[in-house]
Structure 1
Amino acid sequence: MPPRFVVKLPLMEAGHPRSPLRAYLKLARPKQWTKNGFVLAGVIFAEQALQLSSLLAALLAFAAFCALSGAVYAANDALDVEEDRKHPRKRHRPVASGEISVRAALAYAGLLAAGGLALGFSVSWGVGAAGGAYLLLQVAYALWLKHFAILDVMAIAFGFVLRALAGAAAVMAPISPWLIACTGLLALFLGFSKRRYELASLGEGAQSTRRNLADYSVPMLDEMMTVVLAATIMAYSLYTFFAYEGVWMMVSIPFVIYGVFRYMLLVHRDGGDNPDVLLLKDRPLQVTLLLWLAVVMVILYVVR
């Protein structure tokens, strides 16, 4: 019987990119850049979205915050590499899996941060200042704030407020207190829901991936989410009542209510997921967001 020869082909570990370029792109987590959409709120609500110069400035500010947030993600992956290796999903990230070294990830983070700040200041001083404040906040979060329950989520929410401030600065528009309140409350809601997902999905092993999860519990987070959810709906409703003449903006309230309740349903029915992941994979949420945006645009740019 002739000898049998078996050719063994190299297998790629699940979750690994196929090239260094894709590895570095994955390290910047482009799927989470949807959070930077808050930067674009300024140009929309300042009623300048149809002005090419303003739209370009807003898009450049958005790109600057994509670079800045990518820098933060890369640095966090380098600093949290040991904890990430204990996480069932995070262990496949480029640094935790060994695909990119800690030193290379930190150098990449520095490059993205410098590029993001340079781009932000090229748009306006306000955008650059907001970007710098965002980086300082993330340093404080990585070194201190993330270890304290509630403060960690408040820091995340303030990061979203800085995005909204940058968007207003990009088009030289005064920032509305209502925009700050609605952005902060919605971000708190998403932050607490993310902590709930981490607890529910990891169970007893949650503390090994994030130490402050020991201070949370699922029932406690459910109560916090309910309180913040009610405050978010009330703040947005009051915004539509008082920030605009007439009643047309109130038409957008049902879309906000459905959107947050749909998210709540996913959290309790399916266990939820990271907010950016849910937005990318849940079609009703996507449709609701697009309909809300369409209604707001029609009211601001056609009806008024």
Structure 2
Amino acid sequence: MTGGARPGEATLLEQRSPLRRSAASRSGPLRGGLLGGLLRTARPRQWVKNVLVVAAPAAAGELFSRHALTRLTLVFALFTACAAAVYLINDARDAEADRAHPTKRHRPVAAGQVPVPVAYAVGAALGVLAPALAAWLVSPAVAALLTAYLGMQLAYCVSLKHVLVIDLVVVTTGFLMRAVIGGLALGIPLSRWFLITTGFGALFMVSAKRYSEAVQLAGNAGATRALLTEYTTGYLRFVWQLAAGVAVLGYCLWALEEGGVPHTGVLPWRQLSMVAFILAILRYAVFADRGTAGEPEDVVLRDRALALIALAWAAMYALAVANW
């Protein structure tokens, strides 16, 4: 017993050191120092959404040239910087409210790992530098879209997330901007079917997520997202069902439209890809109907069947673009 404190002494030390106990309880969320905290605040798991920047070039069959890959990598990084700027400013603005939340209190800004002024400063710097670099390295159109994205998302953080229906529109538009910016960067014309399918596909996932939140939180919805108390589950179900139907219709119309290009492939891959696309929507709708459709990337990654359907669709789509 010579190397440690006796039980009574340990209890006394704990009573005299409440700050030490508090710091120890927060040791998990505070790992990594300031830089680690800034990185966590930038939400690396959300960066997978920015892969949508390749959607338009992939649809046009212009994805694998060196010029396209270089430019799209740059656009991905710039869009990620803009999204990180929004997260930093949002967390700095909501720091006090987050400290009272059972989960959000572990966010680096709310936990004190990243000081509020630092979060504001880094967020503002990223928000200014990303569009400026886009104007210099890519094109003024890309810079304008990034600026519009920042303005819309910051308005969402301040007030629009409390406005019924508009909150769904803003989040959906954010996904659509990700899909559009790749086409702008490479000067690719965007078809009406691409915009309809992408926009309503995004609305389907966003409204399914809101529906799931409303179902899971039930009578306690206002504790996490106050606006959920103003939505009914019936209305949100109607929105995701409507959006799914329009997305499927838009995709099928695109697949059935030959566009004047003669078919020379082994099989009509573009038409066959409708099957995989519809199956993916139906499979995702299972989770939406159960109220378990959270973050879209989590739904896809945790469900092996949905991931396989998505891979099958991607293969068919690639074969259609290559006209193989």
Per the alignment, residue 321 of structure 2 pairs with 300
Call closer, same or farther: CA 1:280–1:23 in 2, change over 3 Å: farther
Contact 1:43 1:55 in 2 (8 A): no
Write the deviation string for residues 239-291 of structure 1: whole angstroms up to 9, x where unpaired: 11126444431111122222222222123346232223323433333333233
Structure showing greater radius of gyration is: 2
Contact 2:215 2:291 in 1 (8 A): no
Alignment pair present for 1:291 and 2:306: no
Q: 1:118 aligns with which of 132, 149, 152?
A: 132
Shift of 1:215: 1.2
Write the deviation string for residues 142-186 of structure 1: whole angstroms up to 9, x where unpaired: 233211111111111112222222110111111112111111101
In the alignment, the residues of structure 2 paired with residue 208 and residue 77 of structure 1 have an alpha-carbon distance, to the nearest angstrom, of: 17
Q: 2:78 aligns with which of 45, 64, 67?
A: 64
Q: 1:223 aligns with which of 233, 238, 247?
A: 238
Per the alignment, residue 103 of structure 1 pairs with 117
In the alignment, the residues of structure 2 paired with residue 56 and residue 4 of structure 1 have an alpha-carbon distance, to the nearest angstrom, of: 60
Per the alignment, residue 93 of structure 1 pairs with 107
Per the alignment, residue 5 of structure 1 pairs with 5
Call closer, same or farther: CA 1:263–1:51 in 2, change over 3 Å: same
In the alignment, the residues of structure 2 paired with residue 152 and residue 172 of structure 1 have an alpha-carbon distance, to the nearest angstrom, of: 30
Aligned residues: 303
Shift of 1:16: 4.2
Stretch of structure 1 that moved more, 70-79 or 276-285: 276-285
Per the alignment, residue 17 of structure 2 pairs with none
Shift of 1:126: 1.7
Q: 1:35 aligns with which of 49, 58, 83?
A: 49
Shift of 1:119: 3.3
Shift of 1:67: 0.9
Per the alignment, residue 265 of structure 1 pairs with 286
Gaps of 5+ in 1: none
Q: Aligned partner of 1:209: which letter? A: T
Q: Aligned partner of 2:228: which letter? A: L
In the alignment, the residues of structure 2 paired with residue 286 and residue 83 of structure 1 have an alpha-carbon distance, to the nearest angstrom, of: 37
C-alpha RMSD over aligned residues: 2.4
Shift of 1:96: 2.3
Q: Aligned partner of 1:93: which letter? A: R
Q: 1:185 aligns with which of 174, 197, 200?
A: 200
Alignment pair present for 1:252 and 2:267: no
- Tell me the SS of whatever aligns to 1:96: helix
Q: 2:69 aligns with which of 55, 70, 74?
A: 55
Q: 1:73 aligns with which of 75, 81, 87?
A: 87
Per the alignment, residue 250 of structure 2 pairs with 235
In the alignment, the residues of structure 2 paired with residue 123 and residue 52 of structure 1 have an alpha-carbon distance, to the nearest angstrom, of: 15
In the alignment, the residues of structure 2 paired with residue 269 and residue 259 of structure 1 have an alpha-carbon distance, to the nearest angstrom, of: 16
In the alignment, the residues of structure 1 paired with residue 98 and residue 210 of structure 2 have an alpha-carbon distance, to the nearest angstrom, of: 16
Alignment pair present for 1:18 and 2:39: no
Shift of 1:217: 2.0
Shift of 1:203: 3.1
Shift of 1:12: 4.6
In the alignment, the residues of structure 1 paired with residue 284 and residue 273 of structure 2 have an alpha-carbon distance, to the nearest angstrom, of: 17
In the alignment, the residues of structure 2 paired with residue 26 and residue 87 of structure 1 have an alpha-carbon distance, to the nearest angstrom, of: 18
Shift of 1:64: 0.9
In the alignment, the residues of structure 1 paired with residue 301 and residue 102 of structure 2 have an alpha-carbon distance, to the nearest angstrom, of: 21
Alignment pair present for 1:208 and 2:223: yes
- Tell me the SS of whatever aligns to 1:5: coil
TM-score (norm 1): 0.90
Taking every aligned residue pair, what percent have the same amino acid on both sides?
33
Q: Aligned partner of 2:235: which letter? A: M
Call closer, same or farther: CA 1:207–1:294 in 2, change over 3 Å: same
In the alignment, the residues of structure 2 paired with residue 205 and residue 83 of structure 1 have an alpha-carbon distance, to the nearest angstrom, of: 17
In the alignment, the residues of structure 2 paired with residue 2 and residue 38 of structure 1 have an alpha-carbon distance, to the nearest angstrom, of: 62
Call closer, same or farther: CA 1:119–1:250 in 2, change over 3 Å: farther
In the alignment, the residues of structure 2 paired with residue 42 and residue 269 of structure 1 have an alpha-carbon distance, to the nearest angstrom, of: 32
Contact 1:149 1:212 in 2 (8 A): yes
Q: Aligned partner of 1:197: which letter? A: S
